[in-house]
Amino acid sequence: MEMAQLQEKAFRSQATSEAADVARSERAASEVAATTRTDAVTSGIVRNARHADASVLARRTASEDAEAGTRRGGRPRESGPSTTAQGPRGGGGEKVSLQRNHFLRAAIADAAAEELDDSDELEGTAELRRDAKALSHIARSKPGSPAGSSEAGRKASPSANKTTAAHVAGGAERKEAAAREAKTAKARIQSRRAWISSRAVQTEGAQTAAAQTARKTAGAKLAAAASSAAAPAAGVLAGVVCFVLAALVVSQAVSALFGFWDGEAKKAALAGLPPYITAEMVEAAIECQETYGHPAGCTIAQIICESGMGDHMSGLAVQDNNLFGIKWSSSFGGCPEVSGKSSWSTQEEYGGEYVTIMADFTSFKSYKDCIVFRSRVLLANERYAGNELIQRAIAEHDSDLMAEGLKDAGYATSSSYVESLKSVMDTYGLRRFDGISLEDYRNGVASGNTIVEAAYSQLGVPYVWGGSTPGVGLDCSGLTQYCYAQAGIYIPHYSEDQAEIGRKVPLSQAQPGDILWRPGHVAIYVGGDEYIHEPNEGDVCRKAAGISYFTCAVQIR
């Protein structure tokens, strides 16, 4: 009896000491955790159960001792010695000690699980611990366990047998409940594992996103630094490019402007000629004269006779650039100047009568192409090239002979074709272009003889104040303007303006074709001591002598 009491006292002392050790170890772990982080327990949000660990352990020990005593003899442990058969070396004490150690370890594990459950990372550990204990308890409670097969159970009293029978009867119900509880616990465990796995994936994704953001930020900073460093160089390069582009634009604009002026000048009508005769046409006629020998005066006269209709040109000339009424021939198709053919109605003279017919005419790419084609292709035909009059016209630069040769070779059916050409030459002074070079024409240098010839052509024309129509009515400055226009030189109408644009020289240095000037009057110097002028109202253009009447000579060419 005394030995049992001593053992019981020693056990309680050991349990108290072990509980104190557990409390001290937990308090030390809590202090270590508190030095590194603040969790729900240290912040006071969740109440820790460490202060109750020792009492819980003591209560469990007392309860288990009472149950053991009841099973042995229906009496408490401390009322008497155990009735359970013991081995020869006190095996019952060892069993009690093992149970106590088991309970102690379980208590320590529960406390550790509660402590781990307080952290964010291992939240739910205590719940997993409780589920595991429930599964273990269910496994131990199944029928066929060692507790139900002991020899002491076979020798139990009738009341114990009844209790066992009742226990067996409810085994099926307990088994089903245990299976449900095990299934629920397993589901909780799996759910917790899934949550932990998802949490780990989310954490890894957040870390990856943070790393990518950091790399992008670093790349953006590097690009910004490079951009700021390259900005001055880019600015200099952009300035150079802008300067070059501006220079090119200005150059193109100037070229286009001068080209426009040049083109407009070539398309402008020449003074003293019909308004549709342009400088381009005159230049093309002079160029063909230099190349093929055909007198330019007759070429221009043909344009006026074939295409002129008052102050404008015919539809054939406007639409097909055909200035000479050249009909279509299949041999013309391969010529570079030709663009095709078209059909037009025309009037032709047969047996002294004019008839209207439809005929195919050649279409040309431009007016200049038409003029060049006339000399290069049409007049190169033996029908024209072998004509004696045309050959003489080329050799002598004579537009009158050229007109006669064209009629003789059968160029036109009209019986008055030659007279029409010569009349146009007289009206517009076209013979002045015979023999002139293209260089002289482009440089504005006219032959004095051409100017003088133009002045002679207007003898007898009445004086009309402000008049500028050759053969109809002219005043003194209108006469000089017309004569210079026949040489390809444009000058203003009024005498004072004419004196301003030229170079004044003494009368002794005057050359045929120069303008003789005095305030309010001008004339054309024809050589010697003579000049041609329009005197005054009521008089006509005539030749006079005595150049001393004028103040000086004006040279424009």
Q: List the structure tokens of 8.
A: 């019981």
C-alpha 321/C-alpha 338 separation (Å) is: 10
Dihedral sign of CA atoms 13, 14, 15, 17 in order: positive
CATH number of 444-555: 3.90.1720.10
Asked if 130 and 140 touch (Cβ cutoff 8 Å), the reply is no
- The predicted pLDDT at position 479 comes to 96
Rounded Cα–Cα distance for residues 363 and 327 (Å) = 9
Q: What is the pLDDT of residue 261?
A: 40
Q: Domain 279-438: which CATH class?
A: mainly alpha
User: According to the model, what pLDDT value does residue 89 have?
Assistant: 45
Decide if 312 contacts 354 (C-beta within 8 A).
Answer: no
Its sign, for the CA torsion 389, 390, 391, 393, is: positive
Q: What is the pLDDT of residue 548?
A: 94
CB-based contact 348:357 (threshold 8 Å): yes
Smallest CA-to-CA distance from 544 within 479, 493, 488 is with 479
Tell me what pLDDT residue 353 has. Answer: 82
Largest CA distance in the chain: 184
Task: Specify the pLDDT at position 140.
Answer: 63
**Residue 406 and residue 409: Cα distance in Å, rounded?**
5
Give the C-alpha separation, 325 to 306, whole Å: 6
Query: pLDDT at position 246, please?
Result: 66
In the chain (557 residues long), the average pLDDT of successive 10-residue segments reads: 47 49 47 43 44 48 52 45 42 62 75 67 68 68 46 46 51 67 65 64 70 69 58 65 64 48 49 82 95 96 92 93 96 96 88 86 97 97 96 95 95 90 87 83 67 92 93 94 86 91 89 92 92 94 95 88
Report pLDDT for 322. 97
Q: How many residues does the chain have?
A: 557
Rounded distance between C-alpha atoms, residue 394 and residue 286, angstroms? 13
DSSP letters spanning 240-287: HHHHHHHHHHHHHHHHHHHHHHHHHHHHSBPTTS-TT-BHHHHHHHHH
Give the start-to-end residue ranges of the domains of the chain.
Answer: 2-79+93-201, 233-266, 279-438, 444-555
